[in-house]
Amino acid sequence: MTPEPWHAAVLESLAELRDADRQRGAWVERTGEPFPKSPGALVDELFDDTGLIELLSAGTVFGDKADALLRELSALLDDIDLDQAPTKLLADRTWQMAQRFAAVAYAEVEHALAPDDE
């Protein structure tokens, strides 16, 4: 797969979405480290700012497995109130499931982007 500039942004957003400790630091403890300012901003960075949601709607992006995970992740995130208090959100089972989906999706996207050994 030919690397595109937005690929790095997708991987970075997935890494942030899977990282509960950094989320807690940024949104609850307010550590001040560079991180999306809110859960909604993080989701927007992943799906809207990269154009990923449109690409997934149009067809294959990273491959069947990665794309299926990303579509499921998007649907899962649609069911979460991203405006609730961060402590409540981080304890939400659906958000925790989204974090796990993001971890698996990260691995699949990273694999899809890896250069072929030829």
pLDDT, tens digit, 9 for 90 and up, residues 70-83: 999 999 999 999 99
Question: Is the pLDDT reported for residue 15 higher than 90?
Answer: yes
Cα separation of 83 and 78, whole Å?
12
Contacting residues for 78 by C-beta, under 8 A, at least 6 apart: none
Give 87 or 32, the one with higher predicted confidence: 87
What is the pLDDT confidence band of residue 58, given thresholds at 50, 70 and 90? very high
Measured CA to CA in angstroms, residue 36 lies from 15, 41, 113 at distances of 12, 6, 24
What is the pLDDT confidence band of residue 33, given thresholds at 50, 70 and 90? confident
Cα separation of 4 and 45, whole Å?
16
When the pLDDT of each residue in the chain is averaged and rounded to a whole number, the result is 94
pLDDT, tens digit, 9 for 90 and up, residues 78-101: 999 999 999 999 999 999 999 999
At CB < 8 A and 24+ separation, what contacts does 75-81 make? 76/101, 77/43, 77/47, 80/39
